[in-house]
Homo-oligomer: A and B are copies of this chain.
């Protein structure tokens, strides 16, 4: 039966050659050897694995002194937090000429993946056949927490159980964690994000989307066992390249009914939120230069999500996608049942998922709105404090997962961050969220009534933000320490607000976990098991925010009858600047204008490759067969946005900054000799 399924699936064409986000402990050896004659050795893999860092998204260690290379747009959150009204690091860029000038990030943690262990049997043993899907889901999550805690206690490493193949496998990932990370160098945002929203996710492209941090340990630069060397020669057109990074989430096994939910509910709902917020933040930023500065980070993040989701929606609205997915689904449904323990598995997982998405549709908008914290820092802090007071007295496995013991260090790093919180932006975010409750559910909705407290949204937001005492980090620490009595007697209006909102937020989350996520996990585990039974670990699991290996040649494509070459150059950047000069998003920093004649304009700036990436891969090193860095993933093109759902390499491409442009810029524009020497190993 299994054999037959494989044949059926392969007959349907199998995977495009370069598809796949592969596990480091199960690399696509055969595929690479057959297609490219390349054999990744265990040493090669371990070296890459331990040179990579998880930093929200992705990055890599690039010197023996803990130098870390990632995207500007990955580091920009810290650049924003390190800026003041007098010194805007996003606008001006930054370079620390000495170690002493490096700026300590307020709340940045990086992790290096140290080891992986298969714990599937232990996790599965926690769920028994007589449990409901929701109970089995809960039991497995508790088992995961226990496994993580045990391993942390034993090794001192940060531990996380990762659900792979939709529950067909559970792997325990152990990380070294570093919480002292300092800013070394960043170009101006106008250079890093040249072309702005207009060119974002498009190609040809001309972005210097990089920045450097340094990892410290015990107050001294980290001397890592593994770090990546730079290829000063760079890569050539057609060359095979590898991408090591942390793709956040793909959903390539979703059923057709689930995809319809994405197309008709989830993506449009999120886009509606983004359109609304983008306009509100644009008007906020336009009110003056300081507003523009404090609003820019949020504005960019909303714009970026909007453009990405617009691409996903366009992909979902292509009937061809549904035709293909429907065919795949029918083929899998027709395949003989795998010999798994059918007693604990749903009989018709497709029907279960259809039911679950129907259920989710009933409260999706409400869960998104009441379950979140309006993009407000203060509300988010207040809610963490309220929830910590309730969760900490419980045993770790019984808590909401983000408050389990193994997560607390990372949580406190965020919660006690000294990063500035801007009252004007907070008030805007809270007023927007409050108004959104009324707009969406009606101002007479009980939750909206509670939230608004009898005031118009703007006045209520002012009351909550102005009266809030949580700007002070010591107050936050005290409230965590004193726990529930302090929270219950607190007169802080934001704490009171978070307390008032929390019961419904928790109830919505519980409903989501029990009636949607739990059911879907069980059903996808069944579908995943069928697929796993056929392919075993010869296929890659959906992205999970953990380290993966992708690969593919550097290669251009054809669009609207025109050839789009793989590489762009510095000259192309100046041409684009001339063509669009003065338009929003197309400014260049003055030093780039002044130094043009000093530069080698033929230096490669950006390139495209077929490697399979998704959001979270930003900052991933692109390495050659020797394991040297040739570039830095910073984006995918518009045609790659649907890769969330289905990979396709006809036009879809990953975008990278060429390492040669980074070196040219460091040497000649940023006058960063010491940093360049450290990077190229001179």
Q: Does B317 contact A198, Cβ atoms closer than 8 Å?
A: no
Q: Does A457 contact B583, Cβ atoms closer than 8 Å?
A: no
Q: Does B264 contact A317, Cβ atoms closer than 8 Å?
A: no
Q: Does A197 contact B286, Cβ atoms closer than 8 Å?
A: yes
B-side contacts of A439, CB under 8 Å: 264, 268, 271, 313
Residue on B nearest A302 in the bound complex, by CB: B279
A286 in contact with B317 given A279-B279, A442-B260 (CB within 8 Å): no
- In whole Å, how far is A454's beta carbon from the nearest beta carbon of chain B? 6
Q: Does A268 contact B314, Cβ atoms closer than 8 Å?
A: no
Q: Does A286 contact B438, Cβ atoms closer than 8 Å?
A: no
* A580 on the B face (CB < 8 A): yes
B-side contacts of A440, CB under 8 Å: 268
Contact code string A270-304 (vs B, CB < 8 Å = 1, else 0): 01101110110011001111001000000000000
* A140 on the B face (CB < 8 A): no
B-side contacts of A287, CB under 8 Å: 198
- In whole Å, how far is A293's beta carbon from the nearest beta carbon of chain B? 12
* A376 on the B face (CB < 8 A): no
Contact code string A407-438 (vs B, CB < 8 Å = 1, else 0): 00000000000000000000000000001001
* A205 on the B face (CB < 8 A): no
B-side contacts of A455, CB under 8 Å: 319
Q: Does B306 contact A279, Cβ atoms closer than 8 Å?
A: yes
Q: Does A264 contact B444, Cβ atoms closer than 8 Å?
A: yes
* A545 on the B face (CB < 8 A): no
* A86 on the B face (CB < 8 A): no
- In whole Å, how far is A625's beta carbon from the nearest beta carbon of chain B? 38
B-side contacts of A3, CB under 8 Å: none
Residue on B nearest A286 in the bound complex, by CB: B198
Cα distance A679–B251 in the bound complex, in angstroms: 68
Number of chain A interface residues as a range? 35 or more
Residues A207-237 near B (CB distance < 8 A):
none
Q: Does A438 contact B197, Cβ atoms closer than 8 Å?
A: no
How many copies of this kind of chain does the complex include?
Answer: 2
Contact code string A440-478 (vs B, CB < 8 Å = 1, else 0): 101110000000101111100000000000000000000
Which of B264, B272, B289, B584 is within 8 Å of A438, CB to CB? B264
A288 in contact with B584 given A198-B283, A279-B278 (CB within 8 Å): no
Q: Does B580 contact A288, Cβ atoms closer than 8 Å?
A: yes
- In whole Å, how far is A596's beta carbon from the nearest beta carbon of chain B? 23
- In whole Å, how far is A437's beta carbon from the nearest beta carbon of chain B? 10
Q: Does A197 contact B283, Cβ atoms closer than 8 Å?
A: yes
* A318 on the B face (CB < 8 A): yes
- Chain A, interface SS category: helix
Q: Does B264 contact A319, Cβ atoms closer than 8 Å?
A: no
Cα distance A265–B445 in the bound complex, in angstroms: 13
A314 in contact with B457 given A286-B197, A306-B279 (CB within 8 Å): yes
Cα distance A314–B458 in the bound complex, in angstroms: 8
Residues A551-607 near B (CB distance < 8 A):
580, 583-585
B-side contacts of A316, CB under 8 Å: 443
Q: Does B443 contact A263, Cβ atoms closer than 8 Å?
A: yes
B-side contacts of A271, CB under 8 Å: 276, 439
Cα distance A440–B313 in the bound complex, in angstroms: 13
- In whole Å, how far is A262's beta carbon from the nearest beta carbon of chain B? 11
Contact code string A300-326 (vs B, CB < 8 Å = 1, else 0): 000000110000011011110000000
Which of B274, B289, B313, B583 is within 8 Å of A286, CB to CB? B583
B-side contacts of A454, CB under 8 Å: 319
Q: Does A263 contact B314, Cβ atoms closer than 8 Å?
A: no
Cα distance A276–B442 in the bound complex, in angstroms: 20
B-side contacts of A274, CB under 8 Å: 279
Cα distance A292–B435 in the bound complex, in angstroms: 32
Cα distance A430–B509 in the bound complex, in angstroms: 38
- In whole Å, how far is A327's beta carbon from the nearest beta carbon of chain B? 17
A583 in contact with B289 given A198-B283, A306-B279, A439-B268 (CB within 8 Å): yes
- In whole Å, how far is A303's beta carbon from the nearest beta carbon of chain B? 9
- In whole Å, how far is A565's beta carbon from the nearest beta carbon of chain B? 21
B-side contacts of A580, CB under 8 Å: 288
Q: Does B456 contact A317, Cβ atoms closer than 8 Å?
A: yes
Residue on B nearest A306 in the bound complex, by CB: B279
B-side contacts of A457, CB under 8 Å: 314, 317
- In whole Å, how far is A159's beta carbon from the nearest beta carbon of chain B? 41
- In whole Å, how far is A664's beta carbon from the nearest beta carbon of chain B? 29
Can you add 12 more A-B contacts, CB < 8 Å, to A278-B279, A286-B584, A318-B456?
A: A198-B283, A264-B438, A265-B442, A271-B439, A272-B275, A279-B279, A282-B282, A289-B583, A314-B457, A317-B457, A319-B456, A584-B584
Closest 6 CB pairs between A and B? A264-B442, A268-B439, A275-B275, A318-B456, A275-B276, A198-B286
Give 11 A-B contacts (CB < 8 Å), ordered by A residue.
A198-B283, A198-B286, A198-B287, A263-B438, A275-B276, A278-B279, A283-B307, A286-B585, A292-B583, A317-B438, A319-B455
Which A residues are within 8 Å of any B CB, using their own CB? 196-198, 260, 263-265, 268, 271-272, 274-276, 278-279, 282-283, 286-289, 292, 306-307, 313-314, 316-319, 435, 438-440, 442-444, 452, 454-458, 580, 583-585
